Amino acid sequence: MNTQADSVSSQRTPLDATRIRADFPLLARQVHGKPLVYLDNANTAQKPREVIEAVDRFYRQTNANVSRAVHTLGEEATAAYEATRDKLARFIHAPSRDEIVLTSGTTQAINLVAYSYALPRLKAGDEILVTTMEHHANIVSWQVIAERVGAKVVAAPITPAGELIVDEFIARLTPRVKLAGVVHVSNVLGTINPVRELAKACRARGIPLLVDGSQAAPHLRVDVQALGCDFYALTGHKLFGPTGTGALWARKELLRDMPPFFGGGEMIRTVSFDGTTFADPPHRFEAGTPNIAGFVGLGAAIDYVNGLGLDRTGARERELLDHATAALTCVPGLRLFGQAREKAAVLSFLIDGAHAHDLATLLDHEGIAVRSGHHCAHPLMQFYGVPATVRASLAFYNTHEEIDTLVRAIAKVRKLLA
């Protein structure tokens, strides 16, 4: 278990994989009689003991609703829930905790911006600019509202290596564009997009930029002020926290002018049948009872990641990526998707003659969890002309041995599928 105190003295030393793995109880399990090799971290990450215990402790000792009660448990629950807002604000270097809206994840965060910010401003002929490598959350959310008013979603192209063509993105920032969206780190290719550069170009044209940070927040140091974007969405379960948690960061002046997306309890100032006045942000956007225990767990996850140090976890993941890239490129008949110069530890691939799902199923029999499919990125699959890929996505708790096990298993199943 890593405490804040011992992490400070050890932030300069590399991560000790054996020690770190012991923090994640699930990593010790077996699948089909083999030790689990969990390489599906971009889908959801495993949870350290601290997170599991924080959720357990909340239900055993504190459980109460937030904001509605003056009794001790209610006050404790509210304080614990609100503490995660503070931790998130510090984690992404937001200027104010009031700019953090707690959501169920990235999907809800983007939909909140779509309905509360974009929809009231969009008219026929307007455009929302995204990129070819977006997750459906950053495509479909915009299409649903664009259709209502006759606006459309357009995409900036990428290179075959999986890099955004920045000049083409900037060239598409015409006066028709009312909002731009970009994924910080691609969940399929691992590409790290040049968000600062894109934000600068958007800002110069008065176009707000939303960044989908689902895959970035767990692996990179995110500083929304340095990035210069306007909206930043993230998901807690990929950040080693519970499912059903996430956040939207938005500039105060944008949130202030946004009407609520959901109506209900906890988001109002006064209600009568003649009309209702709403609470200030962020509570205006948090109607109903939230996933309180989940957010308590997310707070513990942020403490845990901070305790390890993002510089160290990032360095560890870069080293794992280098090892995995070298090992996979030696596999005959393997096609790797995504060779961006700036890349996170995500490896999408196909083997000649083998369907992605067959490959993933056979790997599962070897105890190896990888994802196969379109990864909620149909346009990207269309760009590469494939229906699906297999994706191995790494976290700092993975090991070189696990990558070697994957490569050996691919060689074995290739023979079965040949």
Q: How far is the CB of 253 from ligand PMP (least distance, A)?
A: 25
Report yes or no: 19 and 27 within 8 Å, Cβ to Cβ: no
Tokens standing for 34? 């083999």
Q: Is 46 in the site for ligand PMP (CB under 6 A)?
A: no
Report yes or no: 328 and 402 within 8 Å, Cβ to Cβ: no
**Three-class SS of residue 246?**
strand
**Counts for the chain of helices (H) and strands (E), in that order:** 15, 17
Q: Is 348 in the site for ligand PMP (CB under 6 A)?
A: no
The span of 104-112, 163-171, 389-397, 399-407 binding ligand PMP (CB under 6 A) equals 104-112
Q: Is 137 in the site for ligand PMP (CB under 6 A)?
A: yes
For the purposes of burial, counting CB atoms within 10 Å of the CB of 58, is it exposed (0-12), middle (13-18) or buried (19 or more)?
Answer: buried
Q: How far is the CB of 135 from ligand PMP (least distance, A)?
A: 3
Report yes or no: 359 and 417 within 8 Å, Cβ to Cβ: yes
- Considering only residues 236 to 275 of the shown chain, the ones binding ligand PMP according to CB under 6 A are none
Report yes or no: 93 and 116 within 8 Å, Cβ to Cβ: no
Within 186-227, strands assigned E span: 209-212
**Residue at 329: amino acid letter:** T
Q: Is 215 in the site for ligand PMP (CB under 6 A)?
A: yes
Residue number with CB closer to ligand PMP (78 or 235): 235
Q: How far is the CB of 102 from ligand PMP (least distance, A)?
A: 13
Q: Residue 271's CB: how many other CB atoms inside 10 A?
A: 12
In whole angstroms, give the CA distance from residue 1 to residue 304: 9
Residue number with CB closer to ligand PMP (235 or 313): 235
Residue number with CB closer to ligand PMP (354 or 356): 356
Residue number with CB closer to ligand PMP (391 or 414): 391
Residue number with CB closer to ligand PMP (219 or 283): 219
Q: Is 187 in the site for ligand PMP (CB under 6 A)?
A: yes
DSSP 8-state symbol, 182: E
- Considering only residues 195 to 214 of the shown chain, the ones binding ligand PMP according to CB under 6 A are 212, 214
User: Catalytic: 229?
Assistant: no
**Which of 47, 135, 251, 391 is close enough to bind ligand PMP by CB under 6 A?**
135
Cα R_g (the chain), whole angstroms: 22
Catalytic annotation, pick one of 202, 229, 330, 376: 376
Q: Is 183 in the site for ligand PMP (CB under 6 A)?
A: yes
**Three-class SS of residue 207?**
coil
Report yes or no: 226 and 249 within 8 Å, Cβ to Cβ: no
Q: Is 343 in the site for ligand PMP (CB under 6 A)?
A: no
The span of 103-111, 171-179, 280-288, 292-300 binding ligand PMP (CB under 6 A) equals 103-111
Q: How far is the CB of 141 from ligand PMP (least distance, A)?
A: 10
Q: Is 105 in the site for ligand PMP (CB under 6 A)?
A: yes
Cα 180 from chain centre: 18
Would you please indicate which residues are annotated as catalytic (active-site) residues? 376
Binding site for ligand PMP (CB under 6 A): 42, 105-107, 135, 137, 183, 187, 212, 214-215, 235, 376
